[in-house]
Amino acid sequence: MIALGPRRWRQNLVGWAFIAPWLIGFVAFTAWPFFQSLYLSFTRYNIVTPAKWVGAANYRMLLFEDPLFWKSASVTVQYALFSVPLGIVAGVGLALLLNANVRGIAAFRTIFYLPSIVPTVASSVVFLWLLNPNIGLVNRLLATFGITGPAWLNTAPWAFYSLLLLALWGVGGSMVIYLAGLKDIPTHLYEAATLDGAGPWQKLLRVTLPMLTPVIFFNLVMGLIGSFQYFTQAFVMTPNGGPEDSTLFYSLYLYNRAWKYMDMGYASAMAWMLFLLIVTLTALVFRTQRRWVHYGG
């Protein structure tokens, strides 16, 4: 046991003082509600009256007696399955294009990045108009090619596809990270590849993408978490779960349970199921990284 000298103590104290604002905020607004929600998931709780312990009843009902739970979980899993790979492909593709050394590239980068900083609610409202089946720009454009566009948000499965399409709107955020990743790839690797006779396609497959895998891995994990928590766009554009429950996302159903039906215990149980699912999937993705993520440089 090494005793700390007064100087060391003072240093530690200063360190703690510096992180105290964040620490207090974290404990009060994240850690405490986090553990509290675990307790609440085993209770009947309506906010006003004290929570009443009901054991595992909420979890049992969720798993065995609530078809909408499974429906919302299925919609969310489908969304994650499509939106995450789509986001990665679009993000990497865009970053590769915007990595080119051409005139005005900074302006292009800004243009593609801008949508990701538009508030989600605002962009959702804009898309409501764009996807209007009669007067929306999307169907008007399709009509010029002689195509009758679908009633996007009013019919299944088009409502779901519309939200997938909307996911690409914010791809500029990940594009910037990919771009930073591309800039980080040492030039000598490309020079060596050129000396070895590699063409552009081979350079992309053998140098760029492998070297970009840490960034892809990061975006994969973040995208996975984000897609399972998908809420705002669905809430604004199809607040009741859309046609045939096709956009009844897990978080939307959770929100309705909590705030519409005031069943906070049940909603907490839903939140914990989601948390466990996300942790499991993230752990699985982490386990696979040794096989495909290259940290060499």
Partner 1 sequence: MAEASGAVWKARIGIALGILAVGYVMVAGRSTERKYPDRIPVRFWHRWQGDWEKQVWKIVDAYNASQTRYEVIPLSTPGTGSDAKFILGVIGGDPPDVMSIWNGAIPTMAANGFLTPLETMMTPEEKRHYFEDAYPAIRDSGMYKGRVYGITIGADLYALYVNVAAMKEVGADPDRFPETMEELEALSQQLTKVDSSGNYTRLGYVPGNLEYLAHTFGGGFFLGPDGKPQLHTPANRRALEEIVRQRKKLGFERVTRFYAGLNSAAGAAAWPFMTGELAITFDGQWRVEELRKFRPDLEYRILPVPPPREGGAPRGGNISGNFMIIPSSAKHKEGAWEFVKFWSGLDNPERSATFYNYGGWLPLSPRVANSPIYQAWLRENPQFQAFLDILSSENVRSKPTIANLQFLIDQVSRAEDRAIRGLLTPAQALDELERTFREESLKRKELGYVE
157 binds partner 1, rule: CB under 8 A: no
What is the size of the binding site for partner 1 (CB under 8 A)?
Answer: 31
Is residue 121 at the binding interface for partner 1, with CB under 8 A as the rule?
no
Residue 134 engages partner 1 in binding (rule: CB under 8 A): yes
Q: Which is nearer to partner 1, 109 or 257 (CB)?
A: 257
The single residue among 243, 275, 277, 289 that binds partner 1, judged by CB under 8 A, is 243
Tell me if 96 contacts partner 1 by CB under 8 A: no
CA distance 107 to 63: 51
φ, ψ for residue 43 (rounded to 5)? -130, 170
Query: How many Å apart are CA 144 and CA 137, to the nearest integer?
Result: 11
Should residue 133 be labelled a site residue for partner 1 when binding is judged by CB under 8 A?
yes
* C-alpha dihedral sign at 266, 269, 271, 277: negative
Q: Which is nearer to partner 1, 99 or 155 (CB)?
A: 155
Distance between CA atoms of 39 and 74, rounded to whole angstroms?
26
Does the protein bind partner 1 through residue 38 (CB under 8 A)?
A: no
Q: Which structure tokens are listed for 52?
A: 């009443």
Q: Which of 19, 23, 24, 47 binds partner 1 (CB under 8 A)?
A: 47
Q: Figure out which of the listed residues 78, 99, 120, 154 binds partner 1, where binding follows CB under 8 A.
A: 154
CB of 150 to partner 1, least distance (A): 9
**What's phi and psi for 229, nearest 5 deg?**
-100, 10
Assess 260 for contact with partner 1 (CB under 8 A). Answer: yes
Bridge partner list, 52 = 44
**Tokens read off for 74:** 């299925």
210: contact with partner 1 by CB under 8 A: no
Q: How far is the CB of 276 from partner 1 (least distance, A)?
A: 22
User: What is the number of other CB atoms lying within 10 angstroms of the CB of residue 92?
Assistant: 24
Q: State the minimum distance, in angstroms, from the CB of residue 265 to partner 1.
A: 7
What number of other Cβ atoms are within 10 A of residue 32's Cβ?
A: 11
DSSP, collapsed to helix, strand or coil, labels residue 279 as: helix
Please tell me whether residue 54 binds partner 1 under the rule CB under 8 A.
yes
| Site membership for partner 1, residue 135 (CB under 8 A) | yes
By CB under 8 A, residue 63 contacts partner 1: no
- Please give the Cα distance from 268 to 242 (Å, whole number): 23
Query: Among 2-10, 27-35, 211-219, 240-248, which window interacts with partner 1 (CB under 8 A)?
Result: 240-248
Task: Give the residues across from 168 on adjacent strands.
Answer: none
Which DSSP letter does residue 148 get?
-
**Cα–Cα dist 19/51, whole Å:** 34
Nearer to partner 1 by Cβ, of 38 and 96: the residue is: 38
Find, among 83, 223, 232, the residue nearest to 161 by Cα. 83
Is 206 a binding residue for partner 1 by CB under 8 A? The answer is no
- Report the candidate in 85, 250, 54 with the shortest Cα–Cα distance to residue 167: 85
Q: Is residue 56 a contact residue for partner 1 (CB under 8 A)?
A: no
Give residues in contact with partner 1 (CB under 8 A).
44, 46-49, 52, 54, 57-58, 61, 65, 132-135, 151, 153-155, 239-240, 243-245, 256, 259-262, 265-266
